[in-house]
Structure formats: C-alpha cells, structure tokens
Amino acid sequence: MTEAKGPHRLPEPPSPRPRFLSLSLFQRLIDALRNKGYRVMGPTVRDGALVWDEIRQVADLPEGWRETQEPGRYRLERTGSGRLFDVVHGPESLKRFAFAAREPLLTIERKAGGFLASSTLPRRELIAILGARACDLAGLAVQDRIFLHGSGADPYYQARRDGLFLVAVNCTRAASTCLCASMNTGPQARGGYDVALTELDGGFVAQAGTPAGLEVLEELAPPAATPEQVTAVQEGIDACARSQTRRLDTSRLPQALYEAHEHARWDDVAQRCLACTNCTMVCPTCFCHTVADLPDLDRQTSARVRLWDSCFTQDHGYIHGKNVRPTIKDRYRMWLTHKLASWIDQFGMSGCVGCGRCITWCPVGIDLTEELAALTSTGDSLARPAGSPTG
C-alpha cells in the first residue's frame, strides 16, 4: 500500500526542440524502425473497428477514416480527409503487447519419479507501436506499476515490455466517450513514449521522449517545426481537451466509493449490467488473470497458460463451495470500487486512465462517469440523464 493518492502524474519527458516530419519522412520513420528490427504495429481497420496490425507503409494506416463512439456504440466512417490518425482508438489498448492475453508460463514434463517444470518466457521480440494514445501510455504505466514493481516482478511481462518502442500520437480529436482530460492523462502524451507525434495536414510535429527516440528521429534529419506548426499542435490538443464532456470527479476518492457500498444505485446498475466482461477486456489497466493447466492427451506433458480473467465471471470470487461475489451487483461494485477507489490504495494511482472504452464497448452502454456521479452525489441518487441507455 502506498500513501500517494489521486489521478495520474507521469514524469515529464525531456523536450528537445520539435521537428517536422513530412509524410515522406514519416514513411522513413517506419522504414528506420523496421531496419532496426522492429515489427511496426499501427492502427488498421478490420471488421468495422480499429485494431493493431503490422504496418509497412503509410498506406497501411487508416487514412480518411474516423469513428463515432457513444455508450454501447462504435461506428467507423470514411471522411475523405487525408489524416491518418483521426480514429481515436478501437477496442484494443496497448495491454496485450506486454500483458499477453494468452501467455504460456511453464511446460511441465513427467520424469521418472516426478516431473520437471521449465519456464516458457516469450522470446525477445522488438515491437514498435505507431500511434499509441496518451490514455494508453498512461494505462501501460499503470500496468508497469503492477507487474514490475510488486512483490514478484513478472518476468513474462518484463520480457515483452523490454521489446517495446513507443511512438505516441497526441490526440487532436476526442471521441464522445473520452475523458482523459479529466483523468489528467491526455490528450497530449505525458510521458512513457520514445517519440511523440502530433498530426497536422501533410505531416507531423515530432518530439523525442527518450535517447532512443531522439536517435531514431535524428537519423531522419527532419527540419525544425515552425512556430506556426507548434502553435497549431497546441491549439489542436487544447481544443481536443475542451471538447471532452465526460469527466470523473475523483476528488473524494477512494473514500466516497467505500462509503457508497450499500448505495441503492448498485441494484439499479445490476439490472442493466450483463456481466459480459467487455469492460474489463477493453480496459488498458485491468490485470486479473487466471491460469489454465493443459495436459496433453497422454498426460506426459502439461502446459500452464495465463489467460486474461475478469471480476465479472462466476469463478472469480469462488472459494471451495461458495462464491464471495455471487451477484452481478457484487461484481459491478467490485469492478468500479476497485478501478476507482481501492486501486488508489493499492498502487497510488487510479485504475482509470480515461480512455472511455468501457463505455463504448459496454453492450448496454453503462457509463462509469454516470454511475460514479450517482453513487457519490448527495442529491437524487437514482436519477439518470434523459436519453441515456437503459436496460
């Protein structure tokens, strides 16, 4: 348990003077990363959503697409704009790149009189993320705090994390579900990146965040960004922050949620929540996992595999013959109280980075900002704004 409280405070990166990358220099950035052995992963359009996939050229990026995100709704549309990063994000955060959704842990083989277990650490793979959003970098920082600073630093997470090169793209457009400004994590990346880009028409203003990032940038010999470009970047980011309407009032957390344990609103949200686990799967910080043992048919060898788990499942709170969280009400309360309150006690930071994915990808459009407001307000606690989805 740590003493620190409150929202996110990421370290300020070094800020050498900003450069400008034209689209051709941007292609050379991709080439440079590939030449260094990185598999470059960027946002791509697949199955009606934005997902990470390998990028070889600028044309692989979702030029001219943007999305609409609302509670329980995600739609991509073509705009005809030349922008590459107008889609804010899809269901995937950066989580799986370090905390794999399916991570082989051990191979265990029967030997005469017993067995032998060996670690199956992931082979070192260099992955460059092109287009990491500020909220997702904050999410990665939260996961680093959990997996690398706890009582048992996790060597599987560490191996994957060590291979990441992070190119941030600052947001100049927010989805309606975004609340990074309120959580102090964006729309401008606050750190944790090697290079940060902000898209303008015809190119990017680029800034290095680490010596490795600076090295890659300098290889491209880009010109300095003009004062006008730098101003345009700041205006775009500021406008993006101002456009966000959702916010979480974290000022009375964690206490306010602890005190709300018996609040009637939990029954209300439990009527709507399907316990589908979507919110926990798309959350950049949710870290619960389960371990599966997978013996071969001949039972001579058995694999141990770690899989993402969710506090919304039946098994999560199961203990010999009883479930400590048998109802959906218990599980939603567990999730929200953990995410916004006990997380602060555990890790010195909120479990919410304001990406808004849990709102968008909830099939019934439950909005944690509404739930928190209702749970911690002193007024008409059951009221929901008109027009919000109901169960």
Q: Which listed residue (176, 210, 342, 377) binds another protein by CB under 8 A?
A: 342
Nearest CB to another protein, comparing residues 46 and 261 = 261
Does 318 engage in binding with another protein (CB under 8 A)?
yes
Three-class SS state of 238: helix
Distance CA(273)–CA(264), nearest Å, equals: 15
Fill in the per-residue mask, 139 to 178: x = in contact with another protein (CB under 8 A), - = not in contact. Answer: -------xx--xxx-xxx----------------------
CB of 316 to another protein, least distance (A): 6
What are the Cα distances from residue 246, in Å, to 39, 105, 183, 343? 35, 40, 10, 21
* Among 309, 367, 370, 371, contact with another protein (rule: CB under 8 A): 309
How far apart CA 204 and CA 259 sit, in angstroms, is 47
319 scored as a contact of another protein (CB under 8 A) = yes
Instruction: Compute the half-sphere exposure of residue 170: CA atoms within 13 Å on the CB side of its CA.
Output: 30
Q: Does 338 bind another protein (CB under 8 A)?
A: yes
Residue 341 DSSP code: I
- SS3 per-residue string spanning 25-80: HHHHHHHHHHHCCCEEEEEEEECCEEEEEECCCHHHCCCCEEEEEECCEEEEEECC
Q: How far is the CB of 273 from another protein (least distance, A)?
A: 14
Per CB under 8 A, which region of 26-34, 72-80, 102-110, 163-171 contacts another protein?
102-110
Residue burial 178-205, b: 16+ Cβ < 10 Å; e: rest: bbbbbbbbbbbbbbbbbbbbbbbeebbb
The contact pattern for another protein, residues 276-305, with x = CB under 8 A and - = no contact, is -----------xxxxx-x-x---x--x-x-
- List residues binding another protein (CB under 8 A): 1, 105-106, 108, 110, 113-119, 121, 146-147, 150-152, 154-156, 254, 258, 261, 287-291, 293, 295, 299, 302, 304, 309, 311, 315-321, 324-327, 329-330, 333-334, 338, 342, 345-346
